[in-house]
A = this chain, B = another copy of it.
């Protein structure tokens, strides 16, 4: 019996913010028959359950000849990202029927030139469509989920964003008890984990976000000072509660400038993202000289490069911390592939309330 294989197609490269229906469109024209779908030896059929919508995706909506760490989306093809699915049919000894799988775009990073073009034959569990046949394991893993967490958590707190916070905090923060940490974008999945890891390490935490509701959330997870950057002056807050020893940067722009201004000597800047620049090109940084004058180390990174070092430790510790309530998690679930365009825009604008997850289907 034919079923709809819905897809989210990348339709055009946006100039500013991505526009739902123009940048990406939902396409339900393909019907497939799951019974008769051919599965190659070693391959398996995955049904998509949850997909992740993340800030970095804006960087993939670019001209294909522009280099960056993640490959560009290709106009006319489904977009891809992180996702969780369930195996419906299998000719693989590892990815058996009923197994839950988690996938990343590392397929492209690992096997091709990082930052270069995507190979047309690449595929990924997380293609934004309902069903995918994988010819091989690609870059997937089987989730065991001993803690019975909601599967959606594996694209958020227990997935790429959680890893981003956990791994880069361990790798770059050199946090010492009593140090002062500033986290921008502190209500998101990455920032909210950084706040909690910094508190576990005995640091004082200053955190910013763009709504009073997010400020309350940041306080509830332990931020010592939380403020709405739209109604408070960031530099004033940092001058009052700083100087800062560690800055976790999710936003760039004027907030980065304020952090440079309020940085202590020997500060570490963990450059996770610069969402203020993704859609509008961003504002120039006028005081980069502080990097020299204050002996600041700045670490740009992508989490894929840290996974080999921390992945085992992450899956051993973090799902357990979440299950026990020691790490608090918040997500906002969007319904259906039809909502992907809206979710993408909300994440870029910061109008989302928490980690954006798209519920695609039940098992």
Contacts and interface: CB of A to CB of B under 8 A. Distances in A.
Interface of A: 59, 68-69, 114-115, 252, 256, 265-266, 271-274, 277, 282, 284-286, 288-302, 305
Contacts of A305: 266, 295
Contacts of A285: 284-285, 288
A265 B115 contact: yes
A114 B290 CA distance: 14
8 contacts: A69-B294, A252-B288, A271-B292, A272-B292, A282-B289, A284-B284, A290-B300, A298-B298
A302 B297 contact: no
Given A115-B265, A289-B282, A299 B300 contact: no
Contact of A274 (B288, B296, B297): B288
A2 to B, nearest CB: 42
Nearest to A66: B293
B288 A256 contact: yes
Given A69-B265, A265-B69, A265-B114, A296 B300 contact: yes
Nearest to A69: B293
Given A274-B288, A284-B285, A301 B293 contact: no
A85 to B, nearest CB: 28
B68 A293 contact: yes
Contacts of A265: 69, 114-115
A264 to B, nearest CB: 9
B288 A295 contact: no
Nearest to A278: B289
Residue among A69, A115, A293 facing the most chain B CB atoms (10 A cut-off): A293
A93 to B, nearest CB: 35
Contact of A301 (B59, B274, B295): B295
A292 B284 contact: no
A69 B295 CA distance: 8
A294 B114 CA distance: 10
A212 to B, nearest CB: 28
